[in-house]
Structure 1
Amino acid sequence: MKMHIFAFLLGVLATTLALGQTELNITLKTKTGNIEGTLMYPSAPIPVPVALIIAGSGPTDRNGNNPMMTNNSLKMLATDLASIGIASLRYDKRGISQSKSAGLQEAELKFEIYINDAVEWINLLKDDKSFNQLVVIGHSEGSLIGMIASQNSKVDKFISIAGAGQTADNLIREQLKAQPPMVMEQSAPILNELVKGNTVEYVPPFLNSLFRTSVQPYLISWFKYDPQKEVAKLEKPVLIIQGTTDIQVNVEDANRLHAAKPDSKLALIDGMNHIFKNADANPLTNMMTYRQPDLPLNGELVKVIGEFILTK
């Protein structure tokens, strides 16, 4: 995979900051198309710390949005980090928004491709003398991607926000428990085969959205990674953040990660949901925040992250 590194980046940056601008569009060139990102700089003398922000599952863009809902969670996180002197790079996942040209056929997509993309962004940032510290922030599914990519020696620190603390197949099993018993009865044999690395030819029509043939290679590649084992491999400072009103990932997941990496720092943020916003635990009102792009982030989040990154 080739990186597109702007040789004149420092000169552009100096001009940009002089003009009072804080964002630059950055392109990562790959064999299957370009991945587009936004580099946000704080109003502070360089070099500064930089955080690579990795989005969660689904068709999520650099701002934390998808075609079904707009919340601007990742854009707000980048802005809040800049306000305390931390630069950040966030990007559209391949096949999404401005990175659409890098999309693959669903049957060709593997979890490792997302990991490799994160590693290439890490390489790009580490080569830039504008930064004196490189931190990876992974949100939700991006937590697992980030913790594997952060095994790279170029990463100084890793932050997990709302990261699962168990393998994805077990996470799916837990979620399916809320469905009628028939759903689990027919899903379990499929999950068991996928965990073994085997595809399944027949999928009941009502389960096709979850286990369709074309998505099975991705599920197989995803299921083999255990977050507890991967976070334990990190020989660097780790911060695990979890909101107490997250209805997608719970506090027990954070506790599992912390137990697997005992020297990590665990921060439970009261009243913060999956997209970093204040919400109660009621699923209906909680989900309403997913469509409120102007609702600010929980104020504790950037404080916790800032203390972790800026403390030597």
Structure 2
Amino acid sequence: MYKGFWVLLLGVLVGSMAMAQDNSGIAGKWYGTLKRYYGDKYRMVVQLEKDGAGGYKGRIELPDLADNETFELETVVYRKDTLLLRIDEVRFAYTGVWDPATQQFKGISTFGGDENPVDLGRKEITKAELYKRPQEPKPPYPYYTEEVRFNNIKDSVSLAGTFTRPAANGRYPVVVMISGSGPQNRDEEIAGHKLFLVLADYFARNGIASLRFDDRGVGKSTGDYYAATVNDFAHDVSTSMAYLKKRRDVDPLTVGLLGHSEGGIVAQIVAANNPGVAFVISMAGVGLTGRQLIDQQMAIKQSMAGKSDSFILADRQRMKPYWDLLASDSSMAVIKPKAEKIIRELYRSSDESVKKEMTEEDMVNNASLSPEAISILKYNPLTYLKQIKCPFMAINGTQDIQVDATTNLNAIERALTENGNLLVTIRKFDGLNHLFQRCKTCTANEYGELEQTIDPLVPEFIAHWILQLP
């Protein structure tokens, strides 16, 4: 879910550099919060001190990053009530103006065309203050939880997760939760929202067990996430099912899958021609091919940005050779040099506004050629959906700007029913976004601003469906 480490670093540096209202008193610590694409928030601590030449030097700390990163400031200029900061190495700039009313610097950081507001003040910010998440359950829980580990021997990966079930002993139906794109922990934590934790809590309170686990290479799981494809993630899920069916508190005949976003793709792969899968729940999953999906996502994003239909069509044609190449059956050894050539041609034909934001090498380096991204672009749901015969539920929010509800749900339903699966439930939830939150602006950067993790109607609907299965 991250746009890139350097984007984070640059935005962070911006906020941290804000200074005080007078040039004689800006030394010391300043605290701010960086907001990113999905509404993720990171605390910033800016430490400033006199440099001995009448100016200032300093550093910023990012305590919420795993390694508590610290970066040295390159340029600090403070004149009157305006603070200017630069880090040439990472092409970062920041302008902040002192606001006497709030006793803060109110500033804007600019990097790669993105603007990010950052305010800095003297009051320390705790991690608990970053988000309000009223739906997040807190211990002690009225149900049983267990830290578990299981091994994908085929790929030499050890996966760590949490098994949750009702408190009373017994055999329960169980849901394996499969996270979306990008390295995710077991709670599928996005912008402070722990979607899978909230779902596991609701399921356990209503007679359903669940297993959620850290993606390979994330948290306590081993392996290399960035070298994996959706098929590799499917191997991990198959391993989890084999583990669950050996437990005495699980009904081995009712082990099902719940996949969110890309997790819906993984669920389709695992469930295809697999009688061991009791049911599938697709949350914001895809029915279109990966190649169709990228065109659709770009069009939605551009439309929300106010671009005309003619612009959207022209841009689609401009990018077509690149996406067609990535979605082709060619090997990566063939794709990479051809893709780089296309990107360089695209850059050279771009407007000057694009060239001001990044260099040609930046555009080449930022191109997504990860095994995960390529495997999604090549993915064709029909190949797998036509082989799924178990009960299948597909739900999407009507305000989802990442996976369009109508076209994807229609494609899923058609693929399943035309191939003889009569146990299909399709549902659109009005007013909900990609995370199934009741949204306002319904943009991706609103995810973190909303206090609601998931609309309560959704887990209720899912649980009722599971419990009524024969």
Q: Does 1:109 align with 2:263?
A: no
Structure 1 residue 98: Cα displacement: 2.3
Identity among equivalent positions (%) equals 25
Measured at CA, do residues 26 and 194 of structure 1 come closer, stay the same or move farther in structure 2, by a change above 3 Å? same
One-letter amino acid of the counterpart of residue 310, structure 1: L
One-letter amino acid of the counterpart of residue 230, structure 1: Y
Per-residue CA deviation, residues 44-77 of structure 1 (Å, 9 max, x unaligned), is 44111100000011122211215xx221111101
Which residue is equivalent to 2:202?
80
Q: Aligned ranges for residues 93-104 of structure 1 at < 5 Å?
A: 93-99=215-221, 101-104=222-225
Q: Unpaired segments of 5 or more residues in structure 2?
A: 1-140, 303-310, 345-359
Which residue is equivalent to 1:189?
321
Per-residue CA deviation, residues 82-122 of structure 1 (Å, 9 max, x unaligned), is 111101001111122222x3225x3x322211111111111
What SS does the aligned partner of 2:193 have?
Answer: coil
One-letter amino acid of the counterpart of residue 190, structure 1: Y
Per-residue CA deviation, residues 144-196 of structure 1 (Å, 9 max, x unaligned), is 10111123221111111100111112211222234566754553212212222
Which residue is equivalent to 1:297?
454
Contact 2:200 2:210 in 1 (8 A): yes
Contact 2:179 2:263 in 1 (8 A): yes
Q: Does 1:165 align with 2:287?
A: yes
**Distance in 2 between residues matched to 1:35 and 1:42, nearest whole Å:** 23
Which residue is equivalent to 1:147?
268
Which residue is equivalent to 1:283?
442
**Distance in 1 between residues matched to 2:168 and 2:397, nearest whole Å:** 30
Which one has a bigger Cα radius of gyration?
2
What SS does the aligned partner of 2:264 have?
Answer: helix
Structure 1 residue 296: Cα displacement: 4.6
Contact 1:176 1:183 in 2 (8 A): no
What SS does the aligned partner of 2:294 have?
Answer: helix
Q: Does 1:255 align with 2:376?
A: no
Structure 1 residue 20: Cα displacement: 6.1
Which residue is equivalent to 2:180?
56
Which residue is equivalent to 1:43?
167
Q: Aligned ranges for residues 10-21 of structure 1 at < 5 Å?
A: none
Measured at CA, do residues 304 and 192 of structure 1 come closer, stay the same or move farther in structure 2, by a change above 3 Å? same
Of structures 1 and 2, the one scoring higher in RCO (CA 8 A, sep 6+) is: 1
**Distance in 2 between residues matched to 1:306 and 1:21, nearest whole Å:** 16
Structure 1 residue 218: Cα displacement: 3.5
Which residue is equivalent to 2:428?
268
**Distance in 1 between residues matched to 2:289 and 2:258, nearest whole Å:** 19
Measured at CA, do residues 267 and 209 of structure 1 come closer, stay the same or move farther in structure 2, by a change above 3 Å? farther
Structure 1 residue 226: Cα displacement: 1.4
Measured at CA, do residues 250 and 114 of structure 1 come closer, stay the same or move farther in structure 2, by a change above 3 Å? same
Q: CA RMSD in A?
A: 2.4
One-letter amino acid of the counterpart of residue 306, structure 1: A
Q: Aligned ranges for residues 192-203 of structure 1 at < 5 Å?
A: 192-198=324-330, 199-201=335-337, 202=340, 203=343
Contact 2:297 2:403 in 1 (8 A): no
What SS does the aligned partner of 1:160 have?
Answer: strand
Per-residue CA deviation, residues 209-239 of structure 1 (Å, 9 max, x unaligned), is 66344x1x44443333312332221111111
Q: Does 1:136 align with 2:252?
A: no
Q: Does 1:23 align with 2:145?
A: yes
Choose between structure 1 and 2: higher strand proportion.
2
TM-score, normalization by structure 2: 0.56
Please point out which of 163, 175, 179 is paired with 2:297.
175
What SS does the aligned partner of 1:261 have?
Answer: helix
Structure 1 residue 248: Cα displacement: 1.6
Contact 2:194 2:453 in 1 (8 A): no
Per-residue CA deviation, residues 270-310 of structure 1 (Å, 9 max, x unaligned), is 23221122223x234x6433355x52521211222122211
Measured at CA, do residues 71 and 265 of structure 1 come closer, stay the same or move farther in structure 2, by a change above 3 Å? same
Contact 2:435 2:453 in 1 (8 A): no
Alignment length, in residue pairs? 284
